[in-house]
Amino acid sequence: MKIQVFGSCCGTEGKKLYALTGQAVKELNINAEIEYITDIMRIVEKGFMQTPVLIIDDNPIVVGYVPDLKTIKNKIAQAGEK
């Protein structure tokens, strides 16, 4: 599973989503590569106008907000079932 978190370089929301995503992956005991991306050009290339963004296997799952840990775990588990 490939997970990407897009966030602004100076904002705290992207960092928070990245940390929660890492915690969720650890608690779910799954093998996943997590990448934190702050490069504005990569964010724009993906077409996102808001951050933070959580992408799982190239599918945007969360855009523009930081959900709680339980929600992130559920979304990762659902993505793994596909």
Does a structural domain hold residue 41? Answer: no
What rounded mean pLDDT belongs to the chain? 94
Residue 42 is assigned to a structural domain of this protein: no
In-domain check, residue 21: yes
| pLDDT value of residue 8 | 87
Domain count, the chain: 1
Q: What is the pTM of this model?
A: 0.92
Residue 3's domain comprises 1-30
Is the preceding peptide bond at 52 cis, omega within 30 degrees of 0? yes
Domain-embedded: residue 47: no
Taking only the tens place, the pLDDT of each residue in 35-71 is 999 999 999 999 998 999 999 999 999 999 999 999 9
Question: What confidence score (pLDDT) does residue 81 get?
Answer: 75
- Does residue 39 lie in a domain region? no
* 76 falls within a domain: no
> How many Cβ atoms are within 10 Å of 36's Cβ, its own excluded?
17
